Amino acid sequence: MNAIITASELADELAGGDPPVVLDVRWQLSVAKAAGEPLFDGRAAYESGHVPGAVYVDLDEELAGPSGDRGRHPLPDLAEFGAAMRRAGVSARTPVVVYDGGQGWSAARAWWLLRWTGHPDVRVLDGGLPSWSGELSTDVPPREEGDFAPAPGAGGLLDADDAAALARSGVLFDARAGERYRGEVEPIDRVGGHIPGAVSAPTNDNVAPDGRFLPAEELRDRFKALGASQGVEVGVYCGSGVSGAHEVLALAVAGIPAALYVGSWSEWSADPARPVAVGPDPG
């Protein structure tokens, strides 16, 4: 099953007899609090215009638990996550399409959570809302409650110890920008650098300038060059488990299964006992 869907494909499916549930997960990482700039308001963006029939989902409130020792965007309480998905109309046997404002990170977080908790048919709108050429709606659609019940799988999720081990036994990709991996800058977390043994693989390099994913073959070649050869176990982390989900999605497009360290650098770097590597080499 494809992990992504084009805007034209989505339009056709919405016009058909068995349309998917569409989730609007617009969100932006903000590092501007100290500057006094207003935070991005995803709900206001949704209310100003969205794909017709789409339901808004709040990443911070419904796709993550409270920020703390487990990171800035730890796993949500699964009962609360399931309830949020049912309110949005998600059922186990109904396809789901997720989109965001174009960056793809928050849509990928929703995709990863739904897939990890057992939903069999979830796709991300490639290129997000900017790729949608149809009309936008300001109506908030009534939704019949769904029946989705989260049932996490046995794999696909890493904790800090798993990530440390995988960096030595397989390949652990760091999806953040290269300067954060190298420890040259760190705008958010306690310290800069990376998990020892991790390989820098910025998720922004998986997409074209318009935000759409590169062709699957190009992605396969990229990840193979970075160490994701056949039979090698692959994991991903980022700052707080959001852009890392986008890298897991890119790997899925390339046909490479990968696990996500949800706590990511925000959890790892908060523990002074965890080692930190700096510079361009994995360490």
For residue 254, the Cα-to-chain-centroid distance in whole angstroms is: 16
Burial (0-12, 13-18, 19+ Cβ within 10 Å), 234: buried
Q: Which of 99, 98, 84 has its CA nearest to residue 148? A: 84
Q: What is the dihedral of CA 210, 216, 220, 223, to 10 degrees?
A: 30
Count of CB atoms situated within 10 Å of the CB of 168 = 11
Beta bridge partners of 98: 23, 124
Identify the bridge partners of residue 234 per DSSP, sorted by sequence position: 171
- The structure tokens listed for 172 are 């652990």
Residue owning tokens 């019949």:
144
Cα(213)–Cα(207) distance, integer angstroms: 4
**Cβ atoms of 250 and 206 closer than 8 Å:** yes
Alpha helices, DSSP H, located in 16-72:
42-48, 59-62
Other Cβ atoms within 10 Å of 34 Cβ, number: 7
Q: Pairing between strand 259-261 and 122-125? A: unpaired
**Catalytic amino acids?**
238
CB of 131 closer than 8 Å to CB of 107? no
Rama region for 183: left / alpha / beta (φ>0; ψ in -120 to 50; rest): left
